[in-house]
Amino acid sequence: EQNEVTVQVPMNIALVKYWGKRDEQLILPLNDSISLTVDKLTAETTVRMIEGVGKNTVEINGKNVELSSNKRYQTVFDEALRLQRKRKELSDSNGNSTSISHYFQVISTTNFPVAAGLASSAAGFAAIALGIQRLLNLDDSQANRLARIGSGSACRSMFGGLVHWKKGEKEDGSDCVAVKTCDSNWPDLYCIILVFNDGRKKVGSSEGMRRTRETSTLLQHRIESIVPQRIDEIKKAYSSRNFENLAKVIMADSNQFHAVCLDTSPPIRYLNDASWHLIELVEKFNEEQGIRAAYTFDAGPNACVIVQKKDAKQFIDAVLKTIDIPEDDLKLAGEELSETFRP
């Protein structure tokens, strides 16, 4: 049996955001979300499954992760071993298989600074899940679940292109899956990432989601009346290559996500002055040129701007004229969303 595998898995950026869980243990979301996979920003990850008694270890970009303060890894490893035992029992004709203990070693390298707060958790957990899938011969839905219980957004990184994560209805999460939604990808979309880290300690996603769920009155309205339409609009705009409509929904949803955070008690503020400066710049760019750029922000101040390839240079020039950011950093962050990724 093979006991080591190396995979490369990309990050994804949500166009309609996931925010709020209906089950915190299984990581089942309160609403559907939809994302684009950014092929070239990846986590290359080696997963080793070793026979015997030993401690699980995870290393990211040369640094050891303290597993006692991050229980999600343990959850993923436990689930992997449970699936392995299940398979062994099935294949054992006498039904009383002797259980052998195993532990995991994970070594992950991102080709993008983890400080950007973007490539890290989704790509990382998706890579671990894909690696374990290969080692244990799991089916796609088992791998999807494994990624999801590591970090919700990770289950969207198992495919390329446009990915729809369905919240599902069932309590066991069996109908909560991410699926690739559009057969033909839109290869000339660019994702430009602008890093505006300011060293503030931000509220983590889990804590933030819990707080919003418990206190926001806007959230329910968003979940029931806004998100379902937006998911449809994104799919329609993407499949008909209507950039304007795609961009409008992306920006509206980013803004609503941050509004819901502000509607939380105590309020959560992820955007900073630089983020707002960028929002204003994009709005002005679109006013002058027709809608050709869309910003979106996750749980932090860094921006992801989506443009078409033909507009990438002009947009980058506009940013460099007004925002103080090293040119090389910006170019480095400009990545084509191509259609190469297939797990």
Interface region with ligand DP6, contact rule CB under 6 A, candidates 12-20, 63-71, 225-233, 306-314: 12-20
By the rule CB under 6 A, 144 interacts with ligand DP6: no
Considering only residues 9, 27, 146, 282, which one is a binding residue for ligand DP6 as defined by CB under 6 A?
A: 27
Interface region with ligand DP6, contact rule CB under 6 A, candidates 16-24, 49-57, 133-141, 310-318: 16-24
Closest separation between CB of residue 333 and ligand DP6, Å? Answer: 17
Helix (H) or strand (E) holding 132: helix 121-136
Closest separation between CB of residue 339 and ligand DP6, Å? Answer: 21
By the rule CB under 6 A, 163 interacts with ligand DP6: no
CA 293, CA 81: separation in Å to the nearest integer?
45
Q: Which residues touch 172 (CB under 8 Å, ≥6 apart)?
A: 26
* Binders of ligand DP6 in range 113-132 (CB under 6 A): 121
Q: Mapping DSSP to helix (H, G, I), strand (E, B) and coil, where does residue 147 land? A: helix
Contact in structure between 305 and 191 (CB atoms under 8 Å): yes
Termini Cα distance of the chain: 21
By the rule CB under 6 A, 167 interacts with ligand DP6: no
Interface region with ligand DP6, contact rule CB under 6 A, candidates 15-23, 76-84, 216-224, 284-292: 15-23
By the rule CB under 6 A, 31 interacts with ligand DP6: no
CA 270 to chain centre: 17
Closest separation between CB of residue 331 and ligand DP6, Å? Answer: 24
By the rule CB under 6 A, 299 interacts with ligand DP6: yes
Contact in structure between 210 and 193 (CB atoms under 8 Å): no
DSSP letter, residue 225 = I
Closest separation between CB of residue 121 and ligand DP6, Å? Answer: 5
CA 148, CA 125: separation in Å to the nearest integer?
8
Measured from the CB atom, the residue of 262 and 320 that comes closer to ligand DP6 is: 262
By the rule CB under 6 A, 212 interacts with ligand DP6: no
User: Is the peptide bond between 266 and the residue preceding it cis, with omega within 30 degrees of 0?
Assistant: yes
Considering only residues 205, 212, 275, 302, which one is a binding residue for ligand DP6 as defined by CB under 6 A?
A: 205
DSSP letter, residue 276 = H
Interface region with ligand DP6, contact rule CB under 6 A, candidates 76-84, 138-146, 147-155, 176-184: 147-155
Interface region with ligand DP6, contact rule CB under 6 A, candidates 62-70, 96-104, 151-159, 177-185: 151-159
Contact in structure between 37 and 189 (CB atoms under 8 Å): no
Residue with CB nearest ligand DP6?
A: 152
Tokens of 325: 């950011």
Contact in structure between 198 and 274 (CB atoms under 8 Å): yes
CA 286, CA 162: separation in Å to the nearest integer?
24
Residues near ligand DP6 (CB under 6 A) are 14, 17-19, 27, 33, 121, 151-153, 205-206, 298-299
